[in-house]
Amino acid sequence: MLNFFLNRHKNKRIVKLVRQTRNNIAHRLQYLFLKLLLILGLHIIAMMWFEKLSLSQAAWLTLTTVTTVGYGDLSANSFWGQTSTVVLLYILGIWMLAQLAGEYLDFRMDRRERITKGFWSWNRMSDHIVIVNAPDKNSEQFLLRLIGQFRVTPCLAEKPVILATHIFSQGGLPNSLTDMGVVYKNVNTSLGNFFSDVSINEASYVLFLAQDALDPRSDSLTLDLLDQFERRGNNALIAAEAVQDSNFSRFKSMGADSVLRPIRAYPELIVRALSAPGTERILEDLFTHFGASIHRYDIEVKNKSWKDIACALIQQEIGTPLGYIDDEGDVKTCPPEGAIISAKAILLMARDESIPETSSIENCIATI
């Protein structure tokens, strides 16, 4: 426990130092820019006073000189005009402009490095997706498939994605993910509140992944994060992974709209949970015998209307047909209503307490 608070304090000090450095650079840029403006303004006044130039001519001469362009169409001819140009521009202005350019390039390079390594604060984003945590193993491949599903799902396709995790702390976020519109916040999610750095209040979707898909202790971290998130009163749609089934109801009570088991091989299921809450429960139930399951019935069907088959099976409370296997062995799911089909097998979803016999389905279809 003592190490937890020491590490948390150390992390806060590092973040504070990073922000102080960033603010110092920004203030220095502002300071240099104001000094340069002052010097340029003094030179413009000097040209107007000593060389009797108009304001536009004095400004043009000052800018072409300080940028070392030197068109030569205007120049200082008097002693004091030339002296002002040497002191204000040759000695001070050009040096200060070069220094300002150097500081700005350093600032841009520092900004890019902090964005790449995850130290940038994304506190001005809105209408985006926040992913909290990532799997320790094969994380890039998992995230590529997950984000790929985001990009083909209409309601998620255009949403920026912020990934909050420490997985990529060594080399930064891979280019394969940044190319898909993902930005990175390098943070140890178990150390406390980081929500403001990912603009979680303005997010449209928030996904809490289990830190370890096989460790029940991951649920404790997710519960703590859900508790912090709930206190902010955000209206985002929330999906969360629960390692233990007993925690499903607890996650729901903490504000999660969708709760599902960690299934690393099928990140598509997570996308369904975000885009259409509730569908993940149906899909998960199909893999277990806790309510309903899908069965294959090897029944020959010739030139029958799919609409008539579906209506007959549902009306006689046999089950819900999901598709069929045609004579070539191809699986056809959710056929058009008016389709006339020929099949060698029917795929049927039925309640586990009343799984129909093959003969019942044959008799039902024969009446059509």
8: confidence class by pLDDT, cuts 50, 70, 90? very low
Token digits for 149?
A: 């599903």
CA distance 319 to 331: 18
Mean pLDDT, residues 302-330 taken together: 92
Q: What pLDDT is attached to residue 121?
A: 85
Q: What pLDDT is attached to residue 343?
A: 93
Go through the domains of the chain in sequence order and give each one's CATH number: 2-117 (1.10.287.70), 129-285 (3.40.50.720), 292-366 (3.30.70)
290: confidence class by pLDDT, cuts 50, 70, 90? low
Pseudo-torsion of CA 328, 329, 335, 338, nearest 10°? 30
Beta carbons within 8 Å of 97's beta carbon, 6+ residues apart: 36, 66, 67
Q: Is 319 helix (H, G, I), strand (E, B) or coil?
A: coil
* pLDDT of 327 higher than 70: yes
Q: What pLDDT is attached to residue 289?
A: 60
Determine contact, residues 342/326, Cβ cutoff 8 Å. Answer: yes
Token digits for 73?
A: 């169409």
* pLDDT of 285 higher than 80: no
pLDDT tens string 152-200 = 999 999 999 999 999 888 878 888 998 898 999 999 888 767 898 999 8
pLDDT tens string 239-258 = 999 999 899 999 999 989 99
CA distance 50 to 35: 22
Determine contact, residues 162/124, Cβ cutoff 8 Å. Answer: no
Beta carbons within 8 Å of 84's beta carbon, 6+ residues apart: 42, 43, 46, 47, 50, 76
CA distance 127 to 71: 50
* pLDDT of 212 higher than 80: yes
The verdict on pTM exceeding 0.75 is no
Mean pLDDT, residues 290-312 taken together: 89
